[in-house]
Structures are given as structure tokens and as C-alpha cells.
Amino acid sequence: MGVSDYDFDLIVLGSGPGGQKAAVAAAKLGKRVAVVDRPDMIGGVCVNTGTIPSKTLREAVLYLTGMSQRELYGASYRVKQEITIGDLMSRTRHVVDREVQVVKAQLLRNHVELVPGLGRFLDPHTVCVEGAHRGDRTSITGAFVVIATGSRPARPAEIDFDKERVLDSDEVLNLDHIPSSLVVVGAGVIGIEYASMFAALGTRVTVVEQREQMLGFCDPEVVESLKFHMRDLAVTFRFGEKVVDVAVSDRATVTTLVSGKRILADAVLYSAGRQGMTDALDLERAGLSADDRGRLAVDGDYRTAVENIYAVGDVIGFPALAATSTDQGRIAAYHAFGEPARELAGLQPIGIYTVPEISYCGATEAELTATSVPYEVGISRYRELARGQIAGDTYGMLKLLVSTTDRKLLGVHVFGTGATDLVHIGQAVMGTGGTVDYLVDTVFNYPTLSEAYKVAALDATNKIRDLERFS
């Protein structure tokens, strides 16, 4: 069959960040593209149940609780005394609705055809799309297919999720009240983000994590700072503990741990990782199979074992971020249609939207120590920056890791207001092979939080100079 004999040049399964960007990239190359997804999920998990609602919820929490202003106006400062779930959700719904419109408009203006429903393979080039109604079924063919079906919360089989008191991270957005107490099982990024948001709202949160630590990939000093802040908001951490049972009544829940501890709470939020959405795809008809977490294997160009089928986003596993899924989608489309594409830069930022937020890029101290790379640390504390005082952030800090052999930036770690934006300055310097001297010699706007880079760079270079003088 020639390429033009297919209904489409590209069929994309899923309209999340990976699917969207694959579709738009192919459309920009003049290809005929179809995107298959449920009409109520346009924009994917990212827009509807994941990134966007959770980040909007966080913004609403920060604003309404007045948390970020308490340093200036006192511990009792609130924008609203009684915050309701309605207050939080109205902002979330508003932003989600707008984002859905943005995604739809972008697909439409690029002449991408939206095919409503869920797709499954009939063969490597044919997808059957099942609509919402029985018998509502069409088949479409494509020269290439991009699988961008994302992931869903993994649910331990022994736990009874009831949509009201025992919830996964999707269902938490449907809460009809703010729980006065909450057990969060799993201290991964999603679990800890929600734990800190509810703690900021005044919910008594207990985090149960089977590992001995949380966010083990981050800088330990930063994680310690986060734990300190969360404890200050009445969060209890139970590390090295496993849940054996969650009992539910119409008024409360009791979570029992292997150690025998029992925790009474209004609700339980399970955040036990994610499962690739591949079980309904009839992969075997396309000659593919997924692993036990529903993930597909791909090569460096995001191509699966079947030549005309690509997979991007959460369905291929780590790092499972909206941030990376978009680029994977674009690169997959370029590769399919022979458009030259560069690989993604190895240096990728991590952003964790806890309260306060965390972000880093490059190496951690632990990694440099393990690989015997000599480095010096430069630190800037927000409370010593005029902008930190103005913003009322006295706990934030930025840490640079600098090579003592060639003065290159090896890592940047930020904790506090604007961390997820600020990190990109360090990323740009690192990505272009810059040294700490660039930051010393650069004039920064004043007063800004970005100035933290200059202060930390001076701190590191002063230490390096002292050492060199000693030698």
C-alpha cells in the first residue's frame, strides 16, 4: 500500500501533550493527521486530571490561604477565612476549560481531524475507534501511528477505592469537601505535592511511605527543608512503613500499617505510581506487547518494535512528565516523516510543585561524590536577597555545584518561591557549557530572585579562590 492509500498519514492515539505535539508537528509538515481521544479528555491527563488541575489547585491554595504573605502580615493572615472545595475547584475548572479550548483550537487550526472515542488496533495500520455509544464504531487507516495513551493511577488490588473516602490521584479532584485529616500513601512526586497542598489548607496529613526516605533523587538538603516545612504544617511522616488495610465507615477511615499503627482520617489518598494505558489497545494485533506496568519499549527515536508505530509520553515510562512528552511527540513525528530532528538535550530539569516548590537540574552532591568529581558549593538564601524580603520568602535557597577543576556549573538546586522557573537560568548556563564566572560577571535585575545566582556564584568562587590560595 502506498502512503496516500491510507486515510491518514498519521493516526495519533491520545490528545495529551505527547499526542498533541506529534499531531501538530506532522500537520506542520503538511501531513494528514487524525487524533483519537474521548471528547471529555481533550488535552489528556495533563489538562484534565493531572498537571493542570493540580497546579491550579496549588495556586488557589496559596492565594486563598494567604500562606505566602504570612511572613509579612502575621501567622493569622488569610485571604478567605473558610475556604471551601468550591472556592478551589471553580478556579481549577476555569483553567482546565480554557486549556481544553487552547488545545482544540491548536489542533483545528492545523487541520488535525479529531476522531472522538477510544482506539484499538485491528492491524499495524488500522485503528478501530469506539465512540461513547454502543455500535458507534469506525475504522481508520494510517501510514504511521503514534501511541500517546498516557497512564492512569496504579491501584493496589487489595484496596477498596470508593470514590469518596479512599481515592486515587484522579479522584481527589472530585472531593466534595476539604478533609480535616488525610492519609497519603506514597511519597512520590504526586503524593507529596497533594500532601503539602492539603497541609497548607489546614488538613492534618499523615504520609506513609514504604521506603526510608522520599524524593531520593533530589538534593537531601532540599528534601530536609521540605520535610521541615511540611512538619511545620502538621504533617506526620511514616517512613519505612507499609499499609496492610484500609477500613472505611460512612464517617471516617482507619489505615492499618504492618507495624500495627492505626491512623484515623477523614480520607485516604493512594498515590502508588502509574500504569500505562495499553490494556485496551489490542496491541497483539499490531505485533506489540507491553510490560507488566503497561509500558511500551521504544528506541531513541521513540519507535516501537513495529516500524510504523511510535510511542511517546507516559506510556513509555520514565520520566513521565508533560514537560518531556511534548518533545517526544514532536521528535517521533519528525522521525516518521524523515524530518531531521536533534535528540532531546540530556540536561533536563525536575520541578516538584510542593509547598514550597523544588526544582533542580544537573548533578546532585551525592552523584558527584559517588563519582569522585571535585566540586564546591555556592549558596544563596532568599532572606538575604531584597526580593526575598519583599516577597516574604525567608526560607528559600539556591545552591550551585561548581567544578573546582574547570569552574563549570554541574548542578543547580532551588527551594522556594519561583524555583521551577529560576532553575532554567542555571540550565541554560550548563547547557551551553558555561562556567560560574558567567554568573559572577553578569548583571542581574535588582531586586529579583534571579540575583540568587550571582550571590551563590560569588559564594562558590570565593571558596574556590581561598582553596587555590592555600595550595
Ligand X SMILES: Cc1cc2nc3c(=O)[nH]c(=O)nc-3n(C[C@H](O)[C@H](O)[C@H](O)COP(=O)(O)OP(=O)(O)OC[C@H]3O[C@@H](n4cnc5c(N)ncnc54)[C@H](O)[C@@H]3O)c2cc1C
Q: How far is CA 261 from CA 176, 203, 246, 441, in A?
A: 28, 20, 12, 56
The C-alpha angle 295, 298, 304, rounded to 5 degrees, equals 95
CB atoms within 10 A of CB 204: 17
Given 270, 353, 375, 415, the residue binding ligand X (CB under 6 A): 353
432 is in an annotated binding site: no
Q: How far is the CB of 403 from ligand X (least distance, A)?
A: 29
Question: Would you say 74 or 135 has its CB closer to ligand X?
Answer: 135
Q: If we measure between CA atoms, which residue out of 463, 438, 442 comes closest to residue 451?
A: 442
Does residue 207 sit in helix, strand or coil?
A: strand
Strand partners, 253: 248, 265
Q: If we measure between CA atoms, which residue out of 195, 273, 269 comes closest to residue 234?
A: 195
Given 10, 15, 393, 411, the residue binding ligand X (CB under 6 A): 15
Cite the DSSP H helix spans in 294-435. 322-336, 365-370, 386-391, 419-431
- Does residue 13 bind ligand X (CB under 6 A)? yes
- Using CB under 6 A as the binding rule, the residues of this chain from 305 to 334 that contact ligand X are 313-315, 320-323, 325
187 is in an annotated binding site: yes
Does residue 248 sit in helix, strand or coil?
A: strand
**By the 8 A CB rule, do 272 and 293 touch?**
no
**By the 8 A CB rule, do 18 and 43 touch?**
no
The Cα 401–Cα 301 span in angstroms is 32
Given 116, 119, 294, 317, the residue binding ligand X (CB under 6 A): 119
Contacts of 2 (CB under 8 A, 6+ apart): none
388 is in an annotated binding site: no
Question: Would you say 325 or 403 has its CB closer to ligand X?
Answer: 325
Q: How far is the CB of 249 from ligand X (least distance, A)?
A: 27
Q: How far is the CB of 190 from ligand X (least distance, A)?
A: 5
Q: How far is the CB of 87 from ligand X (least distance, A)?
A: 20
Q: If we measure between CA atoms, which residue out of 105, 86, 16, 89 comes closest to residue 53?
A: 89
- Using CB under 6 A as the binding rule, the residues of this chain from 249 to 288 that contact ligand X are 277, 280-281
Q: How far is the CB of 468 from ligand X (least distance, A)?
A: 40
Question: Would you say 9 or 451 has its CB closer to ligand X?
Answer: 9
- Does residue 9 bind ligand X (CB under 6 A)? no
Question: Would you say 150 or 388 has its CB closer to ligand X?
Answer: 150
Question: Would you say 58 or 413 has its CB closer to ligand X?
Answer: 58
Question: Would you say 154 or 368 has its CB closer to ligand X?
Answer: 154
- Using CB under 6 A as the binding rule, the residues of this chain from 49 to 68 that contact ligand X are 50-51, 54-55
Does residue 80 sit in helix, strand or coil?
A: coil
Question: Would you say 41 or 178 has its CB closer to ligand X?
Answer: 41
- Using CB under 6 A as the binding rule, the residues of this chain from 190 to 229 that contact ligand X are 190
Quick one: which segment of 64-72, 142-150, 223-231, 433-441 binds ligand X (CB under 6 A)?
142-150
- Using CB under 6 A as the binding rule, the residues of this chain from 19 to 38 that contact ligand X are 19, 36-38
Q: What share of the chain is helix, strand, coil (3-state, %, to 5)?
A: 35, 25, 40
190 is in an annotated binding site: yes
**By the 8 A CB rule, do 139 and 128 touch?**
yes
Q: If we measure between CA atoms, which residue out of 30, 29, 32, 28 comes closest to residue 12?
A: 32
End-to-end CA distance of the chain: 72
Number of residues that bind ligand X (CB under 6 A): 38
227 is in an annotated binding site: no
149 is in an annotated binding site: yes
- Using CB under 6 A as the binding rule, the residues of this chain from 157 to 176 that contact ligand X are 169
79 is in an annotated binding site: no
Question: Would you say 270 or 375 has its CB closer to ligand X?
Answer: 270
Q: How far is the CB of 76 from ligand X (least distance, A)?
A: 31
Q: How far is CA 131 from CA 317, 323, 379, in A?
A: 27, 29, 55
**Residues at the interface with ligand X (CB under 6 A):** 13-19, 36-38, 41, 44-46, 50-51, 54-55, 118-119, 148-151, 169, 190, 277, 280-281, 313-315, 320-323, 325, 353
Annotated binding-site residues for NAD(+) read: 186-193, 209, 273
Annotated binding-site residues for FAD read: 55, 119, 149-151, 314
Annotated binding-site residues read: 55, 119, 149-151, 186-193, 209, 273, 314
